């Protein structure tokens, strides 16, 4: 009974492992949640999550309060407010554009897919890429057990005792990512990439050029892109086809994996689609905002319009516009002048909680070395240095300092970093340390003029360094990059969904190689093969360590919505 209560309390705790996000309907959710709760309770992590949830609940309470306060201003005020919102909606609606076509492509269970391709024995087993600490992704078999991205491995194992952990090979994913981006480039040289395994392509020009800007033509094009990806990588992708970036992205998930969904560029069709989508599916609505909206009675996007008045009382104009546009299925239809330059470089590591300041210092030194090296590689300098930690109780704290002059040397970075580390003392138990540099300048060109050089402030670091030269204990980073040779797939890949591509093992009459591809695509291959194109590309391989993928620009709402 006590347990019961705790659990039902806990149900309100926001979970990152939403059942709304990945592609699986009608799973034994209660059982999964119960297992997660049992594995979570009484941990520092859980405790911290609870505190965060409490904060959010407080916020929600004050929001509800604010709503009541506003409602009590009387029917007149409510009328005025409603009218104002409707006016906004009309404004937004005016900007609706249905004449562009976007295709959003996203690889299926990307990391897992790569691993399965290279170890076909895994194909029919539940797998997770990662370790008992953290799962980056899981295949669809494992997902049926509730296994998710961002779930600690030990919980995944509880949910699915058969679960096999595959250590990540980041280099491979990077390489596959480059391959698909090469393909994207053919269809839209300015494609917007939102992660290694996905991109939004404005394909209106291609469609017009080909004279296939029709319902069928658009779907055929998505199919073509996906096939090309499969040919180049032996990995399946899914796609969403719609008239703007937001809808294209949201459509992608509908027929995942290895499927695609075409949302007709029709006002009514769009409404029908969007109004029944869970708000959490909207990029930009994460677990916190979802929780808030749920508490306001908003479950699916259609509810946003139903509760627009309440929403307008508690969100600022930017957020209100964002939510209304989402609910209307309105999104950016043109390429956003996205700033290409990276804005920050960071490195962080989790370790067994320690209070030992000297250990921390050593780690920080190696972080500085890493960052300094990366700055040099990228011919960059920085002005801001941020040191951040996560306490034993999962509190995170960061301290930063902005230097007046550009810096890039190990010495300068180390000095600033250590100054910040000191401000964090006394440390107590700490489980993560991180270092970030920001305010980047690339290619030490933009020295405005001689004057600014004359006026350059002196270095803010002390000449005498705390630095221990070359403490390169890089054993954390594994060397496991080499691409495992392809093992030919025997089985014909089946696809139950009508949108799936019919794939089969076919031999190229020119090069004699076997491929898993559609018949259409084989014809393409043959002509390519004559020119000795396809084969070469597949030999590309990268060298380096098995680091995590860095320099992936963060996702922003700008990608999906037009600003104003």
In the region spanning residues 84 to 123, those forming contacts with DNA, defined by CB under 7 A, are 110
Can you tell me the distance from the alpha carbon of 296 to that of 499, in angstroms, rounded to the nearest whole number?
Answer: 37
Of 175, 166, 177, give the one whose Cα is nearest residue 121.
166
10 Å Cβ neighbour count for 36?
23
To Mg ion, the closest distance from the beta carbon of 436 in angstroms equals 24
By beta-carbon proximity to ligand DTP, the closer residue of 259 and 534 is 259
211 binds a second copy (CB under 8 A): no
Can you tell me the distance from the alpha carbon of 157 to that of 162, in angstroms, rounded to the nearest whole number?
Answer: 7
* Size of residue set near a second copy by CB under 8 A: 24
Three-class SS of residue 391? strand
Cβ 213 vs Cβ 243: under 8 Å = no
381 binds DNA (CB under 7 A): no
* Size of residue set near DNA by CB under 7 A: 82
Structure tokens that stand for 238 in this block: 């899914």
* Burial per residue of 252-273, b for 16 or more beta-carbon CB atoms within 10 angstroms, e otherwise: bbbbbbbbbbbbbbeeebbbeb
136 binds ligand DTP (CB under 6 A): yes
Residue 87 contacts which entry, DNA, Mg ion, a second copy, none (Cβ below 5-8 A, type-dependent): a second copy
10 Å Cβ neighbour count for 452?
10
In the region spanning residues 19 to 48, those forming contacts with ligand DTP, defined by CB under 6 A, are 22-23
**Contact region for a second copy (CB under 8 A) — 179-187, 264-272, 353-361, 454-462?**
454-462
Q: 3-state SS of 262-307?
A: ECCCCHHHHHHHHHCCEHHHCCCCCHHHHHHHHHCCCCEHHHHHHC
Structure tokens that stand for 463 in this block: 């000449």
By beta-carbon proximity to a second copy, the closer residue of 271 and 400 is 400
- Say how many CA atoms lie within 13 Å of 324 toward its Cβ: 25
Contacts of 367 (CB under 8 A, 6+ apart): 347, 349, 417, 433, 434, 435
69 binds a second copy (CB under 8 A): no
Of positions 400, 441, 513, 546, contacts DNA by CB under 7 A? 400
10 Å Cβ neighbour count for 367?
22
In the region spanning residues 312 to 331, those forming contacts with a second copy, defined by CB under 8 A, are none
Can you tell me the distance from the alpha carbon of 554 to that of 354, in angstroms, rounded to the nearest whole number?
Answer: 30
To Mg ion, the closest distance from the beta carbon of 554 in angstroms equals 13
Number of separate helices (H) and strands (E) present in the chain: 21, 15
429 binds a second copy (CB under 8 A): no
519 binds a second copy (CB under 8 A): no
To DNA, the closest distance from the beta carbon of 197 in angstroms equals 5
**What string marks each residue from 383 to 422 as x (binds Mg ion by CB under 5 A) or -?**
----------------------------------------
Of positions 68, 132, 533, 541, contacts DNA by CB under 7 A? 132
By beta-carbon proximity to a second copy, the closer residue of 277 and 386 is 386
404 binds a second copy (CB under 8 A): yes
Structure tokens that stand for 529 in this block: 């093969």
By beta-carbon proximity to a second copy, the closer residue of 276 and 402 is 402
Long-range CB contacts (within 8 A, 24+) of 404-408? 404/457, 404/460, 405/456, 405/457, 405/458, 405/459, 405/460, 406/381, 406/382, 406/441, 406/444, 407/381, 407/382, 407/383, 407/459, 407/461, 408/372, 408/375, 408/376, 408/380, 408/381, 408/382
* Size of residue set near ligand DTP by CB under 6 A: 17
Of positions 11, 55, 150, 447, contacts ligand DTP by CB under 6 A? 150
**Contact region for ligand DTP (CB under 6 A) — 195-203, 279-287, 488-496, 553-561?**
195-203
Residue 461 contacts which entry, a second copy, ligand DTP, DNA, none (Cβ below 5-8 A, type-dependent): a second copy
Determine which helix (DSSP H) or strand (DSSP E) holds 153, and give its type and residue range: helix 153-159
Of positions 106, 115, 192, 303, contacts ligand DTP by CB under 6 A? 106
In the region spanning residues 171 to 200, those forming contacts with Mg ion, defined by CB under 5 A, are 195, 197-198
Residue 546 contacts which entry, Mg ion, DNA, a second copy, none (Cβ below 5-8 A, type-dependent): none
188 binds ligand DTP (CB under 6 A): no
By beta-carbon proximity to ligand DTP, the closer residue of 257 and 331 is 257
By beta-carbon proximity to ligand DTP, the closer residue of 174 and 408 is 174
* Burial per residue of 516-539, b for 16 or more beta-carbon CB atoms within 10 angstroms, e otherwise: bbbeebbebbeebbeeeebeeeee
Of 358, 380, 344, 373, give the one whose Cα is nearest residue 433.
358
By beta-carbon proximity to DNA, the closer residue of 542 and 549 is 549
Question: Helix, strand, coil % (nearest 5) of the chain?
Answer: 45, 15, 40
Can you tell me the distance from the alpha carbon of 142 to that of 137, in angstroms, rounded to the nearest whole number?
Answer: 10
Return the ∠ at Cα 254 (arms to 283 and 143), rounded to 5°: 85
| Strand blocks (E) in 211-365 | 237-242, 260-262, 344-354
145 binds ligand DTP (CB under 6 A): no
Among residues 49, 198, 310, 411, which one is catalytic? 198
242 binds DNA (CB under 7 A): no
110 binds ligand DTP (CB under 6 A): yes
198 has catalytic annotation? yes
423 binds a second copy (CB under 8 A): yes
Can you tell me the distance from the alpha carbon of 182 to that of 105, in angstroms, rounded to the nearest whole number?
Answer: 13
Of positions 33, 100, 197, 224, contacts ligand DTP by CB under 6 A? 197
Q: Are strands 192-195 and 164-166 parallel, antiparallel or unpaired?
A: unpaired
80 binds a second copy (CB under 8 A): yes
By beta-carbon proximity to DNA, the closer residue of 442 and 527 is 442
For 278, phi then psi, to 5°, come to -60, 140
149 binds ligand DTP (CB under 6 A): yes
By beta-carbon proximity to DNA, the closer residue of 240 and 265 is 240
110 binds Mg ion (CB under 5 A): yes
Site residues (CB under 5 A) for Mg ion? 106-107, 110, 195, 197-198
Site residues (CB under 6 A) for ligand DTP? 22-23, 106-111, 136-137, 149-150, 195, 197-198, 256-257
Site residues (CB under 8 A) for a second copy? 73, 76-77, 80, 83-84, 87, 401, 404, 419-420, 422-423, 425-426, 451-452, 454-455, 457-458, 460-462
Q: What is the set of active-site residues?
A: 198
């Amino acid at each position: 009974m006590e347990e019961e209560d705790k659990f039902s309390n806990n149900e309100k705790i926001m979970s990152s492992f939403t059942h709304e996000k990945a592609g699986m309907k009608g799973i034994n959710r209660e059982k999964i949640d119960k297992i997660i709760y049992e594995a979570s309770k009484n941990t520092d992590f859980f405790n911290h999550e609870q505190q965060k949830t409490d904060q959010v609940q407080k916020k929600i309470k004050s929001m509800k309060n604010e709503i009541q306060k506003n409602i009590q201003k009387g029917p007149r005020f409510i009328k005025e407010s409603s009218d104002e919102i409707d006016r906004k909606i009309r404004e937004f609606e005016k900007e609706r554009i249905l004449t562009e076509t976007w295709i959003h492509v996203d690889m299926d269970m990307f990391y897992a897919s790569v691993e399965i391709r290279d170890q076909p024995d895994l194909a029919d087993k539940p797998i997770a890429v990662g370790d008992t600490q953290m799962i980056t992704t899981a295949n669809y078999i494992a997902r049926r057990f509730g296994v998710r991205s961002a779930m600690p491995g030990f919980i995944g194992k509880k949910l699915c005792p058969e679960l096999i952990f595959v250590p990540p090979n980041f280099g491979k994913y990077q390489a596959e990512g480059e391959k698909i981006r090469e393909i994207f480039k053919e269809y839209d040289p300015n494609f917007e990439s939102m992660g290694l395994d996905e991109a939004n392509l404005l394909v209106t020009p291609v469609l017009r050029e080909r004279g296939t800007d029709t319902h069928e033509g658009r779907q055929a094009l998505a199919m073509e892109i996906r096939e090309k990806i499969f040919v180049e990588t032996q990995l399946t992708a899914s796609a969403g086809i719609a008239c703007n970036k937001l809808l294209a992205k949201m459509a992608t998930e509908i027929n995942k994996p290895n499927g695609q969904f075409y949302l007709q560029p029709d006002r009514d069709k769009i409404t029908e689609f969007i109004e029944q989508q869970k708000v959490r599916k909207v990029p930009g609505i994460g677990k916190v905002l979802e929780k808030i909206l749920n508490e306001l009675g908003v479950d699916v996007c259609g509810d946003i319009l139903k509760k627009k008045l309440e929403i307008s009382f508690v969100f600022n104009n930017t957020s209100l516009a964002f939510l209304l546009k989402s609910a209307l299925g309105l999104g950016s239809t043109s390429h956003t002048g996205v700033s290409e330059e990276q804005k920050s470089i960071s490195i962080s590591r989790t370790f067994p909680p320690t209070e030992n300041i000297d250990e921390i210092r050593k780690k920080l030194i190696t972080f500085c070395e890493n960052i300094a090296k990366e700055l040099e590689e990228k011919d960059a300098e920085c002005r801001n240095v941020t040191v951040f930690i996560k306490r034993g109780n999962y509190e995170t704290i960061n301290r930063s300092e902005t230097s007046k002059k550009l810096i890039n040397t190990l010495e300068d970075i180390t000095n600033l970093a250590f100054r910040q580390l000191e401000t964090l003392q006394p440390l107590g138990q700490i489980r993560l340390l991180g270092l970030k540099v920001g305010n980047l300048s690339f290619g030490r060109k933009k020295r405005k003029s001689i004057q600014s050089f004359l006026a350059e402030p002196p270095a803010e670091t002390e000449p005498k360094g705390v630095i221990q030269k070359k403490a390169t204990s890089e054993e954390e980073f594994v060397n496991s990059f080499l691409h495992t040779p392809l093992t030919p797939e025997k089985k014909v890949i089946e696809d139950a969904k009508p949108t799936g591509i019919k794939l089969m093992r076919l031999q190229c009459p020119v090069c004699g190689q076997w491929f898993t591809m559609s018949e259409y695509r084989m014809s393409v291959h043959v002509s390519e093969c004559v020119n000795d194109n396809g084969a070469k590309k597949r030999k590309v391989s990268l060298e380096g360590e098995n680091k995590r993928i860095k320099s992936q620009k963060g996702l922003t709402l700008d990608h999906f919505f037009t600003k104003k």
